[in-house]
């Protein structure tokens, strides 16, 4: 495993574990998963050197935090545990109350990394960040982070906090590479981290899905799996396959290896089984040549998915055509 040291958080594994699915009915995981597979996944992650475990108060309406805290057991205070507050009425007393509620569900006294889950479109960070600063001053959290912030808003949050906002968790993958343009250079320059969620684009980068094998469930609404986007993404997937053959790995592992080869980037793929977790963690051992990394970066930047409006129009046309 590879690591990066983050002020206030500690040693962060370059591949962590995202736990959105823990307790979330939209992913089809019920109580038996929580008491069985989820616990086994967390235990195996710890054994493999994973230190970054990411959750949020809205994942399963608190269930993810409870499941994760229970599964971590005595290790829960020794890892880089991260959670998020959804910024509804994000005033200092509310932030304090909800951080304490998350800490209780996680069974910890201190949350190493506490993040603002979304930029609030109405309440500015000059109002939000004093609450985070109070948590830092009291020692209830180790560091403050944000999620889904643009670079400009990240910098405003930084100024409002009066100390570094150490992380920004964003959708980032070979299929969604926009963080390359500004967030990654900023993180490298300012010694922050970018946390990549959905690093495999919900399985698209594994090469499993195509025009003749569409995903169902939650993934069915992801525009990346639309007909035109599946056509457009093929050159990127072929580059992934070529590099995977070169390094003796699978395309999804190469997609993760590319992310963590970037400066100050960590990835938090989810895992529905111990085997999937082991598969993801193995990507940390893959060393990409500069040529392979550049080829992947070029292919990622060349991929131009259709707009959301065009995807919706495509879906309507396809549904009408089937009648």
CA dist., res. 283 & res. 232, Å (int): 26
CA dist., res. 99 & res. 92, Å (int): 11
> Which helix (H) or strand (E) element contains residue 13?
strand 10-13
Active site amino acids: 59
- In the 8-state DSSP scheme, what is residue 297? H
Q: Which residues lie closer than 8 Å to 111 by C-beta, 6 or more apart? A: 81, 82, 83, 99, 102, 103, 140, 141, 142
Q: Which string of b and e fits 128-139 if b means at least 16 CB within 10 Å?
A: bbbbbbbbbeee
How many helices and strands, by DSSP H and E, does the chain display?
A: 13, 10
CA dist., res. 160 & res. 155, Å (int): 9
């Amino acid at each position: 495993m590879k690591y990066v040291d983050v002020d206030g958080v500690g040693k962060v594994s370059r591949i962590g574990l995202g736990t959105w699915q823990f307790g979330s009915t939209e992913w089809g995981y019920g109580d038996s998963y929580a008491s069985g597979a989820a616990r086994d996944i967390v235990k195996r992650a710890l054994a493999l050197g994973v230190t970054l475990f990411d959750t949020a108060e809205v994942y399963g309406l608190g269930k993810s935090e409870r499941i994760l805290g229970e599964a971590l057991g005595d290790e829960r205070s020794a890892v880089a545990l991260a959670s998020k507050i959804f910024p509804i009425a994000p005033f200092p007393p509310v932030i304090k109350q909800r951080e304490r509620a998350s800490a209780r569900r996680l069974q910890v006294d201190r949350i190493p990394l506490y993040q603002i889950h979304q930029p609030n479109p109405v309440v500015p960070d000059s109002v939000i960040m004093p609450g985070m600063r109070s948590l830092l001053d009291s020692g209830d959290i180790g560091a403050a982070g944000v999620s889904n912030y643009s670079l400009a808003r990240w910098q405003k949050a930084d100024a409002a906090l009066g100390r570094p906002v150490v992380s920004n968790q964003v959708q980032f993958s070979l299929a969604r590479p926009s963080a390359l343009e500004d967030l990654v250079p900023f993180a490298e320059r300012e010694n922050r981290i970018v946390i990549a969620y959905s690093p495999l684009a919900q399985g698209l980068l594994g090469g499993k899905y195509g025009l003749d094998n569409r995903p169902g469930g939650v993934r069915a609404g992801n525009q990346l799996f639309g007909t035109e986007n599946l056509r457009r993404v093929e050159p990127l997937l072929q580059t992934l396959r070529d590099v995977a053959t070169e390094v003796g790995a699978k395309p999804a592992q190469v997609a993760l290896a590319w992310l963590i080869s970037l400066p100050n980037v960590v990835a938090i793929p989810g895992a529905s089984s111990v085997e999937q977790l082991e598969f993801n963690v193995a990507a940390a051992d893959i060393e990409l040549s500069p040529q392979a990394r550049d080829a992947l970066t070029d292919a990622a930047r060349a991929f131009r998915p259709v707009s959301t409006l065009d995807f919706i129009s495509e879906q309507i046309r396809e549904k009408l055509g089937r009648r």
